[in-house]
């Protein structure tokens, strides 16, 4: 029935079978981790009107009763299916500017991973053709804490690991990511073709087979297939736009390449989110990690041509005159807008009695807690989607008591919650325990979130 692209369509066909059968368990649990550098300021993501005092009480509020801060406003349509989580700590593992692998493994791992990270463990629990996939707009080289800008290779940003001394690579090139995710399914060769033409041929293969399949299925199944096709056509549209912009790119970009993505930093990050949507919708992977930026990144799109994320973290005024706090707001808004765009794509795809967003949890966090030079006694999270993940995250602002106080919990408790809801065997704790919190019970998941 299908042509050369049948391998790429296979994961989608399995999902459609589950959808037609009404089998909710047939849909995978999906996760997207969006990891930023230089900390997430708790007060900047806290809904307006919520006051934080020095008491040791758990604060559990409904997001619908509060207005999101300006940089989170693109998430307004998702207030009933998101959570802002504050008050957790992870102070016993870290580094100078980053906790590196520790941010997702809860082990002190500044250079080499000491254990598997949360995203890789979830990839094992929710298998797909690609168990895990990572996107990174820049790399990390040994001896350079800021990481060089790279455009054409896999990199190791020291975030994800399959296990001890086994780091997970991220793809820094959107074009190569496209080949790996989609081109491999068609067994395309690398030899001598123009990259845009190659991708156009690939999209034509997929589109034609998808249209043929649409004539043989029910209207309900066809609706999901339409979203599958739209995911690819949006990539095609980006290609066409880049072709039309070649002269402008030549004049303004450092170098015009045949890469799928622009060399402009923000364009490349946006492209990674587009590829994430396409990869999830087609079922090629269920767990994706996106490195949103790194310390050397310069958001030239917003006028920070000579001011890096690292500079902003040290309270330097940007070269276009913005104060550090305002520059951080601009960066955060850009990243949150990408998450909102991804959530919108997924919410438009029907799945069972709900949508793909119900079965996809997008987790926004920093690799170093609450500040540029963080003490990691506060580690905020924003969670969007995932109402089908057997956790009570929908529509909540949840803040745990401060570090050391009765009732305080750690990110290890939070990760334990995610793993147990995903079917992982029950463990007393995830990662290393904080020796300074021996007086607290840090075992198990967060009871406030478990069903």
pLDDT of 213-262, one tens digit each? 666 666 656 666 666 566 556 555 655 554 554 443 334 333 323 335 46
Q: How far apart (Å, rounded) are the C-alpha atoms in residues 155 and 132?
A: 14
Instruction: HSE, CB side, 13 Å, CA atoms: give it for residue 296.
Output: 14
Show the tokens assigned to 288.
Answer: 């994706």
- The answer to whether position 206 is within a domain reads no
- The answer to whether position 277 is within a domain reads no
Residue 443 burial (CB count, 10 A): 12
Residue 246 has a pLDDT of 46
- The answer to whether position 202 is within a domain reads no
For 295-344, write each residue's pLDDT tens digit: 988 999 999 989 999 999 999 999 999 999 999 999 999 999 999 999 99
CB 83 within 8 A of CB 393: yes
Instruction: HSE, CB side, 13 Å, CA atoms: give it for residue 429.
Output: 14
Q: Does pLDDT of 186 surpass 50?
A: no
Cα 80 → chain centroid = 20
Which residue would you say has higher pLDDT here, 240 or 285?
A: 285
CATH number, domain of 54, equals 3.40.720
For 338-390, write each residue's pLDDT tens digit: 999 999 999 998 888 899 999 999 999 999 999 998 889 999 999 999 999 99
Query: If you average pLDDT over every residue of the chain, what do you get?
Result: 81
In DSSP notation, 134-200 reads: EE-SS---TT-SS----SSSEE--SS-EEETTEEPPEE--HHHHHIIIIIHHHT---TT--HHHHHH
- The answer to whether position 140 is within a domain reads yes
CB 295 within 8 A of CB 313: yes
Q: How far apart (Å, rounded) are the C-alpha atoms in residues 221 and 216?
A: 10
In DSSP notation, 243-273 reads: HHTHHHHHHHSS---S-SS-SSHHHHHHHHH
Residue 154 has a pLDDT of 80
Residue 362 has a pLDDT of 98
- The answer to whether position 108 is within a domain reads yes
Share of the chain above pLDDT 70, in %: 72
Which stretch, 101-110, 221-230, 423-432, has highest mean pLDDT? Answer: 101-110
Residues in a beta bridge with 366: 36
Residue 245 has a pLDDT of 41
Give the count of domains, the chain: 1
For 137-147, write each residue's pLDDT tens digit: 864 333 333 34
- The answer to whether position 251 is within a domain reads no
Residue 324 has a pLDDT of 94
Q: Which domain holds residue 157?
A: 31-186+289-437
- The answer to whether position 283 is within a domain reads no
Q: Does pLDDT of 434 surpass 60?
A: yes
Residue 1 has a pLDDT of 34
């Amino acid at each position: 029935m299908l042509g050369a692209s049948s391998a790429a369509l296979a994961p989608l066909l399995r999902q459609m079978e589950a959808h037609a059968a009404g089998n909710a368990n047939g849909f995978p649990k999906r996760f997207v981790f969006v990891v930023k550098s230089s900390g997430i300021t708790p007060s900047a993501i806290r809904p307006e009107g919520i006051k934080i005092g020095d008491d040791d009480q758990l604060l559990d509020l409904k997001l619908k009763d509060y207005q999101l801060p300006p940089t989170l406003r693109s998430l307004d349509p998702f207030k009933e299916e998101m959570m802002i989580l504050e008050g957790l700590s992870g102070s016993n593992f870290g580094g100078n500017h980053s906790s590196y692998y520790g941010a997702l493994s809860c082990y002190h791992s500044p250079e080499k991973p000491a254990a598997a990270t949360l995203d890789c463990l979830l990839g094992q629990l929710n298998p797909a053709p690609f168990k895990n996939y990572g996107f990174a707009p820049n790399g990390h080289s040994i001896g350079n804490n800021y990481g060089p800008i790279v455009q054409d290779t896999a990199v190791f940003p020291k975030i994800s690991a399959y296990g001890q001394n086994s780091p997970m690579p991220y793809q820094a090139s959107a074009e190569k990511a496209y080949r790996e995710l989609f081109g491999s399914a068609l067994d395309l060769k690398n030899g001598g073709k123009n990259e845009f033409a190659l991708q156009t041929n690939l999209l034509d293969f997929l589109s034609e087979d998808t249209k043929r399949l649409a004539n043989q299925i029910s209207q309900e199944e066809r609706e999901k297939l339409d979203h599958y096709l739209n995911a690819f056509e949006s990539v095609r549209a980006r290609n066409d736009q880049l072709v039309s912009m070649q002269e402008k790119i030549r004049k303004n970009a450092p170098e015009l390449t045949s890469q799928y993505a622009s060399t402009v930093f923000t364009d490349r990050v946006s492209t990674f989110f587009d590829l994430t949507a396409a990869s999830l919708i087609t079922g090629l992977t269920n767990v994706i990690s996106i490195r949103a930026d790194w310390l050397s990144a310069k958001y030239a799109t917003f006028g920070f041509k000579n001011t890096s994320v690292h500079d902003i973290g040290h309270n330097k005024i940007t070269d276009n005159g913005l104060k550090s706090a305002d520059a951080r707001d601009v960066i955060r808004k850009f990243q949150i807008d990408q998450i909102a765009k991804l959530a919108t794509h997924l919410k438009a795809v029907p799945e069972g009695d709900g949508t793909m967003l119900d079965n996809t949890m997008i987790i926004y966090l920093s690799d170093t807690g609450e500040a540029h030079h963080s003490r990691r006694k506060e580690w905020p999270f924003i969670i969007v989607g995932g109402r089908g993940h057997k956790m009570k995250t929908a529509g909540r602002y949840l803040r745990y008591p401060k570090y050391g106080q009765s009732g305080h919990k750690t990110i290890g408790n939070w990760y334990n919650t995610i793993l147990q809801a995903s079917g992982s065997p029950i463990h007393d704790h995830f990662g290393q325990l904080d020796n300074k919190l021996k007086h607290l019970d840090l075992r198990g998941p967060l009871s406030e979130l478990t069903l």
